[in-house]
Amino acid sequence: MAREFAKSFYRTEAWIKARKFAFDRDYGLCQQCLEKGITDSDGELIPGEEVHHKIFLRPSNINDPFITLNPDNLITLCRNCHMDIHRKKKKRRNTLNIKSGVFFNERGDMMKSKVYIVYGSPGSGKTTYVKEHKEYGDLVIDFDLIKQSISMESKTEAPDNLLEYAKGIRDYLYTMIEQRNIQSKNVWVIAGLPKKEQRRRLASRLDAELIFIDTDLQTCIEHIMNDSERKDKEKQVQLIDNWFGYYEKG
């Protein structure tokens, strides 16, 4: 049933590996029948025959291993259930929960979705770093941007009374990451985190890799002075001073 654009994909070794992974994970059973409690006339569970892509393969995603080879996008089905799904015209929500936290790259290697904590002083260039390294679709958690989004003030001038809301939003996102209930390949958390213990605690909570943006104080101040989005320069310099005052190596 493979359409022309997908034919060569179904012959790749990476697909054969990913397919086998999904099939074995599902114990070779039709997951749909299993969920509905459907068995055959002998009361046996229905074996799966085909591995289906929950987000359908399209010409536009056929080269995206995150769709084509991601076990979270694969499900074992019997032929009947599989035909049903493709017959149904009603729109499905094309979202994908990476519950297992793994996917396959184009070479067929098993990969884990990654969480990075990018930390350093205000003005050190954390945002620039993330902009340069993120991929389209990555989740980015930046406390300043959260505050901005709920205040409509400039990036660094959100009023204090909204702080608790911003913290609540951030914590909600942290919880999603903790449970690996995420729908993106990478997650980038931007934070100051001058203290070693704070960093360690967050990194272990989110199972994240720490990336330090190691910029000296003078350069941080220069960045702030040249950043038109940061209005209150004096307050910004004070924040930099605080950060370097608290900073612990390691």
Region near Zn ion per CB under 5 A, out of 71-79, 182-190, 198-206, 225-233: 71-79
Which residues, in sequence order, are CB contacts of 201 under 8 Å at separation 6+? Answer: none
Cα 155 from Cα 195, distance rounded (Å): 23
Which residues touch 104 (CB under 8 Å, ≥6 apart)? Answer: 14, 17, 18, 21, 65, 69, 70, 71, 110, 111
Query: x-or-dash pattern for Zn ion, window 143-162, by CB under 5 A?
Result: --------------------
Q: Where do we find the tokens 């320069």?
A: 233
74 binds Zn ion (CB under 5 A): no
Q: Is 22 in the site for Zn ion (CB under 5 A)?
A: no
# binding residues, Zn ion (CB under 5 A): 6
Q: Closest approach of Cβ 82 to Zn ion, in Å?
A: 6
81 binds Zn ion (CB under 5 A): yes
In angstroms, give the least distance from the CB of 54 to Zn ion: 8
81 vs 115, beta carbon nearer Zn ion: 81
- When the beta carbons of 40 and 232 are compared against Zn ion, the nearer one is 40
At closest approach, how far in Å is the CB of 4 from Zn ion? 16
CA-CA distance, 33 to 142, in Å (whole number)?
43
Cβ proximity to Zn ion: between 104 and 116 the closer is: 104
The residue ranges of DSSP E strands in the chain, in sequence order, are 50-53, 74-77, 102-104, 110-112, 114-119, 139-142, 186-191, 209-212
Of 26-55, which residues contact Zn ion (CB under 5 A)?
30, 32-33, 52
Encoded amino acid at 128, one letter: T
Q: Is 76 in the site for Zn ion (CB under 5 A)?
A: no
- Secondary structure of 158-174 in the HEC alphabet? CCHHHHHHHHHHHHHHH
- Residues near Zn ion, by CB under 5 A: 30, 32-33, 52, 78, 81
